[in-house]
Structure 1
């Protein structure tokens, strides 16, 4: 199992890490920590971006390397994730991906594709959650009529429909640009923003329309809520994506 260790505490840009690496006579020494690393307790190898005096480098780190410690973390969706800490971890020179000059681009390439994959997963979660909620609204009867016929419920479902279509549109737009090798500045961040922002709204709509049963672990809808919250925050929430988009727009000449 190969996994990417990207997210760090107090850092909203995983492509520009805080974890540090210093050149040594034998190779490199890494110090720092990565949080909520997917499959960390099971992984055989980690991709670890770290900042150096010359830029960013991406290292291949084994869990058996001296100085590596892994602590399982609890997440909203109960997935296998962990805190991975590096205490003067010695890495041979042949375990660096590319060169230090390429490291920043390699890290950004990895982050973009994981963000896009997360958005695709989120789209599936929200699409199915909305379908389950719409079906429930036609079956649940209150005051002698299905709750879906009430204006407030219908409006929330309509807003959810627009949100899901927004995620789908921005997802495919970003995926197409990456697949065609076109400039993708802002496209992935836009898709991830929709996945986060719409994920919050649709996830809560699913629970609220279902009422008490939406929080019952015997009913499947709570799993969609947990998955939506996980992908809302994975590698940057909605605010983080807006900040990234702001940097992209600020770099464009007036």
Structure 2
């Protein structure tokens, strides 16, 4: 499915329209990510890491022309080894999207970055998917909703810290009709962001930190005062007994 989607992006007018907007999003999202190892999983014919300066970059997929052939739900990387992972619609075109995210969480280093895109089912693109059937790309993708993806990320302690909506124009097949609705691109973020055809998420893998346990000074002071009073009473009682000033038991000398 992913291979047909890749061809659709490159060869159709609607696909090129979408590709231009997603490429711009990825260029912005990965530009400031740093580290030593970056991996793009899916769509290896398109370079979504081109704006990033990490020295070791790799494109992985189940099919050529990927530099590494692998399943996205079973990544051949050690845990906590990657600084940046890019998923261009990878979750839309896999049968195990939740497992893919689990693998990404496993291989990302603490504070490593994840950038992904996905189709919005609650948009005109989602309507077109229902009307056109689910046999041809890209309409055969899963179109996972943004709230669902955010819930998964939250469970895995991957915290979104940025994102974007894109592709507001109706999914017309012809470029001239797409140009007629170009005004929707500028107004979309302001008036109907949730109606965009595609969403993008930039997120960071957080680590559960150690909790510093500090003493409860108020309680400690009260306890110390109580001990001081008790100790003072003991000393006072002992002094009385030593000086004979205390009560004597019957029959004592």
Same fold, judged at TM 0.5 (above): no
Higher helix share: 1
Who wins on radius of gyration, i.e. which is larger? 2
TM range (shorter): under 0.3
| Structure 1 length-normalised TM | 0.24
